[in-house]
Amino acid sequence: MGIRSVDIYILDIPTIRPHQLAMHTITAQSIVVARIINESGLEGWAEMATIGGASYGEGTPEAIKANIDKYITPLLIGKDPAHFSKIMFQVSKAVRGNNFAKAVVEAAMIDLLAKSKNIPAYELLGGKIHDSLPLAWTLASGDTAKDIEEAKEFLHQKRHNIFKLKIGKGDPYKNVDHVLKIIAAVGDQARVTVDVNQAWDEKTANYCIEALEEGGVSMVEQPLPTWNYEGMARLTERFKVPIMADESATGLHEIFQIAKHRYGNCIALKPCKHGGLMETKKVAAIAEGAGFGLYGGSMIESSLGTAVCASVYATISEFEFGIEIFGPMLYQDRITVNDLQFENFEIVIPEGPGFGMEIDLDKVKHYAREFSYNLN
């Protein structure tokens, strides 16, 4: 059954509190939602999120939508989503880069195909290994006392026992002190990691990572800019604490070079930056073959995008550093009728056809910048 239409929507959904990153503070998150409809009227839905417009990367919501509408959609119309791998191979030949755009259309095709077969999407990705996965939470208020209070409350609720701190903004030395105080408060009950979001130079990284390592941090994510591969290698060689590549770890070729030259020794996976769910499986295999630990990353997706990530992460053998797909907990609202389950410090992998989420079309219309429903 061929694809009849592809609709791309940009939604802006407010968060429950400001979420501070090195390059941007999120108060409303922009997500890109794809709906693909086949000739019988069955719909496949998917979502990818971006952060801070162009402050995180080149894939702004507006660019994702424009490039799908102009260049990718014509390659999908009339095609059978049962052949989604072949379709995406053809898209990759015709459209360079645009990994976020590729990821969201591939996921929507997978959702559509899985629904047509009445199976969970993970069955099309090799089958589920995990029923649930350990879930990290980012403490990003920027206030030490608030972060400690939040961490203690989530430990009490058995919601999270892995905490990440965003420390790329402001004085790095004060940020290190902030981290060490949080470790002193909850480190006997939780694992604490940090994410620098490329904000340090190598001199700063050497000083700060030494203090963080001595203080008990369990991982340091992307301390240097993406271009500084040699610096990442030097940090990896010097310190015992794992050095994670995130923004620099994009497609297959970049992951291979990171693994080959040890520009870090662990990898943050994100389907959007790899260009899709099947590409995520490939980069995970490269990392696994190199002996790298894996982390299931997040772009702060809503419930739909989180279900997409959870479905592929469920098929990957091991996540040494847990996964971070807590996005729905940060939103004031959701665009799905049902919600994801979080229990015993883990996220439960959603069941049901496709990604297991029922779309609330009224909410999509409410938050979309523009909305059209064309079934002609």
Q: Provide the token pair at 76.
A: 């999908």
CB 294, CB 287: distance < 8 Å? yes
Backbone angles phi, psi at 226, to 5 degrees: -60, -30
Predicted pLDDT at 75: 97
Given this model, what pLDDT does residue 376 score?
43
What does the alpha-carbon distance between residue 187 and residue 139 come to, in Å, rounded to a whole number? 14
The CATH class of the 125-348 domain is alpha beta
Three-state DSSP at 241 gives: coil
Residue 120 is classified by DSSP as B
**Euclidean distance between CA atoms 354 and 198, whole angstroms:** 35
Beta-carbon-side half-sphere exposure of residue 291 (alpha carbons within 13 Å): 4
So what's the pLDDT on residue 364?
96
Looking up tokens 């909410």, which residue turns up?
363
CB atoms closer than 10 angstroms to residue 201:
13
R_g over Cα of the chain: 20
pLDDT tens digit sequence for 119-177: 999 999 999 999 999 999 999 877 899 999 999 999 999 999 999 999 998 999 999 99
**One-letter amino acid identity for 92?**
S
Q: Which residues of 122-159 are buried (b: 16+ CB within 10 A; e: fewer)?
A: bebbeeeebebbbbbbbbbbbebeebbebbeebbeeeb
Class of domain 3-118+360-367: alpha beta
Q: Cα torsion for 233, 138, 150, 24, to the nearest 10°?
A: 110
Instruction: Give catalytic status of residue 181 as yes or no.
Output: no
Whole-model pTM: value is 0.93
Query: Choosing from 102, 115, 164, 166, which is the catalytic residue?
Result: 166
CB contact set of 265 (below 8 Å; sequence gap of 6+): 236, 242, 243, 292, 293
Q: What is the full DSSP assignment across 284-309?
A: HHHHHHTT-EEEE--S---HHHHHHH
* The predicted structure's pLDDT at residue 157: 94
Quote the crossing angle between the two packed helices 229-238 and 252-261, to the nearest 10°.
40
The predicted pLDDT at position 52 comes to 63
Cα dihedral: 331, 336, 338, 340 (round 10): -50
Break the chain into its structural domains and give their ranges. 3-118+360-367, 125-348
For the chain, list residues with pLDDT below 50.
375-376
Copy the structure tokens of residue 46: 């998917």
The residues with which 331 forms a beta bridge, in sequence order, are 15
> How far, in Å, CA of 298 to CA of 53, rounded?
16
pLDDT at 18 (0 to 100): 73
Facing residues of 354 across strands? Answer: 120
